[in-house]
Structure 1
Amino acid sequence: MTEAPLRDDARSVLRRMDPAGPGQCALRDRFVAHLDAHPDGVLRACRPDHVTASTVVLSADASRVLLTLHAKAGRWFQLGGHAEPGDGTLAGAARREALEESGVEVALDPVPVHLNEHAVPFCGPDGDVHHLDVRFVAVAPDGARHAVSDESLDVRWWPVDDLPNPDLADPVALAVARVRGV
């Protein structure tokens, strides 16, 4: 699939999203404006910003979250990354990234749960890159066994109330609420 249909899917997904609060609403509007202005806005080559897709993977009982110790950043994050040419949808890119980084097949909710913009100094030679991260939620099957990919130093289950990275508190809380129907 070319970037135009993937970009159109990303715009559609974002426009249908019901953001949790004014900050998330502002990010959604920023992401949509970025995609409107940049035909390649879902691709890594788009500079200085590009849309990425990630997944907050919860255990079947929503008590734990599967995180990766990112090799380049040296911090724990949800699973995710860049869209690739074969990705048909943004949710599909998030699901593919989760599988590649953890080895776990997940059931993914196609409606984003959280948005985040963050600088990524190691993403390219100029160092002035921002990921416009669209975060989905997924549930791993009961007893799912994970693996560590080449992109990670470790992959591990963490209690949702004892996260190693405080920046994950909001997306994990929103994911848990979505899964539990709260």
Structure 2
Amino acid sequence: MKPFHRSLMCVMYAGLAGCVPWPHHYLTAPRITGTVVEAGQPVAGAHIQLADVLDESGEPAPGARKQEVVADAQGHFTVGPIRRFAWSAHVPVLTVTQNTVPWGLRLSTDGRSFRAGWLSDPSLFGEVLEVPIVATCDLSAAGKSSVIEGYKSLVGNGPCELAAESKK
């Protein structure tokens, strides 16, 4: 076999084995649908910001990707998902989907001063869920620690309660 063909075969086998960097997009924050209320009443015009990297104080980290939406007259919103581009070698047998989950929601009634809606614990490891998340955010509620039901590693703090959308 000619040297060129041997080299081509090696590259093909390496590609099939997942040893060659390949461009792809990976999920850094999920799609979230929800409602913003205050004392049981919908908050029309509330600003909801999803960021894929927040620090412990709830501010977007330098280089964080953000999406911002405004709630409709009933307080409903949909934001996300956020994906990032990467070149990496994907080896299915060795791939681990656990990674830090520093994403979170921020809420504002004026579009300028944001407060935590749900900030994930950046010290924990978990997965960014592929299924949509449903959020219920009550601006009159004090922030509290909560877990996305069924996902013990997805712990956060804030007035929003999150749940993974069930498949029907």
The interval holding the TM-score normalised by the smaller chain is: under 0.3
Q: Indicate the structure (1 or 2) with the bigger Cα radius of gyration.
A: 2
Please give the TM-score of this superposition, normalised by the length of structure 2. Answer: 0.27
User: Which has a greater percent of helix?
Assistant: 1
Greater fraction of residues in strand: 2
TM-score w.r.t. the length of structure 1 is 0.26
